[in-house]
Structure 1
């Protein structure tokens, strides 16, 4: 209202006898008053002009103190925000104290709020928009300068059944009211309550949004406000470019901007006089209250006919930053907040991992950086594609998985510690579940279950030149078989040589006589290899003995033949240890495991007698070798290969090592079964999103596919297989047979030589 000087239109020395209407107008450099009267009706109105004093009565209480002497019915003042529109206030809506010389003006908290004509419909549009968005509740953040609009918006939302909480925020910002709510109602309910309307100055809007992002760091794990809060900003049209320049990380931000024609302040004098005259010209006899209501009705009628341009924008993620995009007025929820359909909007999450085969393996690139692959990384890649995020992987500085490092078990080392310190958004390698870890982190649905075991080196070695002739039976079988053969030979000779059958005249006549010792031995021994002989016994007792001897031989040779086929196709070896008791019995064997794992903690705190003995064995090994708790599994395997050492770990990892090194084998006895899953920080807002997708991955069998993809198959191993089935027979399997044939040739040659010598001697 620069340069506006109120002009005294009509001054009347004598007022009519009808009631006098008192109107106060705040105008820069205003210094006089004017009277309007209509003799036809006897109505009289008086307009008082007051100096503006920095723009608004809302900032100058002293000015109000002057107004109180005039018994005003209505106050007209410039809008403190735009300076172009005006506000209409009933004086009775202020505290009585506000008419005194207080430091600041206060609005009445009663339901009779200061009246202001709806110079535009943006509040009605905002109420309807919030109702369309299906917000059950919202928090309206406002400053004192916008208190009137915020109260009106709250009342409009209440009529539509939307619960609203009106919070006045100071110019230095204040979102601390959210902290007790977040602590008391929990993460799930909090995600549904983060619905905000900002109706305040642009600097304060920026401050509130930045404070929300900072609050997210401490209470929302960096994700609560960013991905689950929804914001509706109400700003003037020129402020749109400033919103884009705020570099906001919040995903869901919509902006309702207004642009409309304001009062022509330069013609305020003429307008007030014209409107007052219109009211007084009515034939109706007004009292002071009715006059004020009718005055405001004229104002509403005039400004309802004006064109108000209200536009809705949504803040989108673009390649070059956040950009506003226009949304149509009949938009749906997904149109106003389209980022809801885009998951995490390509946010870069921080993953933590350690190498664990076959789930995670670290590869060094040519530039010195590291990349990570295998089954668990395939799962994380899938989650990134579905939930729309990228990630980087880092490892804990201490190289541990996560064990308590404080007496009250509140602080953890390793991967769990990174989650506690907010250095990582999730753990990308499966972690074993434990009650302590579950208290300080969120486990996703389990997708791997396995026992733990021991891997050792076969110190007895694996024979490269296997004895095909002796492998079918144990040595005890050969010993018993030899003893039976000798016993049957002796029994045969005793029965034949003492049998009266051969002393009978008929036997003598036919020349029947018992076989000699050499003939008996050759016949019974030859029957063991299905050769028999020509010297069959003539007596009935001898033939009965030989018949049952053949039954015995048929069964034994059949078993031998079957085992011979199996021994040629399946590797069989004698292992030095077959159970934990064998391990405990060997005092020279050292046992170790990776420090900081759930297995380490489980064995250390177990009440099981066998696990307690195992922990004592580990401690005894630790006292002589400090590297038995080495965190690098590769170094642990090297110790197994070169020392008398056993390594404890998950069976899936041990199987990979056993297939890579042929001298290693896994103890048959397993212990401490565990379940494994990815882990997020405690009360992470992302837990539900990740859990749903991991469950789906399990149901459709993707996790099993990735596990089989990276877990080496049996035929990928260079070691001899212990599985049944036809396998190629190598030359080493036939060495013993070849040697036996060579021995047989030498023996037969020696016999021939002896026969030749005997014959030559007899001729001489």
Structure 2
């Protein structure tokens, strides 16, 4: 395999070996003074079949396989492995997608575990605040404000949205937990804003292929070289069982012809090419050299994560005497970095067609705002549902009856009960509630819920607001007038 090893045929029929593997063999020949003949396997495969490289070594047809053979499990009892010369990382060459696989931009700053914990805290903190207030009220034995659970839950949600609150806890324990939640929200939103800004401004791009399961999930079709370590691992090794199942479903094939044109046709049609990273780097280099127009460059990209790693070494027959002689020299090749240098000396130092091209500013895409659209649709849908329920309940009279405790029979007797509305005592809301025989009407005046009161002494008291903070302001001005 270029540049590791390949064979050419001379006019007289003699086979000549080339590549890094035969450079090592030449060093061994000079050291020990032997001669050798190159024998080409009948079948270009690593599988343990007749005519394959491994079968020729097992049968003793050759004294050594001068090739970088991946260390494959299940063959230790039949052959001897030489020293590990290097490692191959098997990656995927694919057509560069137009969209990043990161997902929605609004969810990108945090991982799914963080979002889950934030959601749990939203549901848990409200009842915890209520429980602390209720427990203190019971244990301390004196009057203290105990806000109901819905009020505590709305405080937690409002703090997350950075909204103010009219709640005024009167105990140190409740004040402390209020302040703790505010500090937590401040830190959380600061990190979220910073990470969101970085995500939307930096030209970061991610691929949908990271693991073997991503390759074999049925969305893609893949291609690999026939006779390669991938074919052996898929058919014999449990590490790539997912690819074996995918091939059984018709989503994967092994091809013999891996010429440049065929490879480009495979990838252009959307198929994934599985091979080792070193070989794919040379392939991409040849592809880019063959492209003449700049607009067509870097149409393909390599995945950053490998789905398989294998050590490479020479192999010998089971009882060969050569490994103890050759291994020390090969070890010096490996430790001095010569093999690594020979592997990459014909490659450019810069990454060929990197994942993040960085040639243009990142612009917001519609997919980045998908979560925004979802939030808006869900929010308006829930609000419309609640509005319909409020409209139905108001027309049936339940809404007014639930918020007024004064009965018609009591009004006829001249008794004016205190009205509790939205949890605010009527004495704070109605500064003239001491008068008798008062008649009141619930109205919506200029967008505010008010009560219009009349009695026998004064014809009209005007519109009295009943919601926070309007009721508090009215209570203060009413007390001032009474005084």
The TM tier, using the shorter chain, reads 0.3 to 0.5
Normalising by structure 1, what TM-score?
A: 0.31
Larger relative contact order (C-alpha < 8 A, sep ≥ 6)? 2
Rg larger in structure = 1
